[in-house]
Amino acid sequence: MTENAETPRPESGAFQKSNAVVAETTVAQLIARPVPVRTSGRMEFAARCPECRDWHRHVGLGDKLAPCGAIYRLEFKTKLKGAA
């Protein structure tokens, strides 16, 4: 190999920025299935964390940051409608 091929080169700013965007979108999306919990004041959702396997409660659906530090998507399982 040549010296140029062995020497790591710093990437340009634009390339680094696009890598950051790609890194955010290609993160493995963990999904937790919620269990609705009716409290006296509001509707909450309990879900078993895919990382620590403990139960966490959230006030809404979507992307969540759990107290243990795990990032996952809280969504109900959709039923498939297929022609049988």
Domain interval for residue 64: 27-77
pLDDT score of 83: 57
Q: Say what the pLDDT of residue 15 is.
A: 37
**Residue tagged 């243990």 (tokens):** 68
What pTM was computed for the model? 0.58
Distant-in-sequence, close-in-space partners of 36: CB < 8 Å, separation ≥ 6: 43, 44, 45
Which residue type is seen at 22? V
Residue-level pLDDT at 9 = 55
Residue 15 lies in a domain: no
The answer to whether residue 13 is domain-embedded is no
Is the pLDDT at 51 greater than 90, yes or no? yes
The Cα 27–Cα 29 span in angstroms is 6
pLDDT, average across residues 8-18 = 45
Q: Is residue 54 part of a domain?
A: yes
Residue 60 β-bridge partners = none
How far from chain centre, in Å, is Cα 76?
Answer: 15
Assess if residue 34 is contained within a domain: yes
Residue 39 is assigned to a structural domain of this protein: yes
Cα–Cα–Cα angle for 67, 35, 82, nearest 5°? 120
3 domain-assigned: no
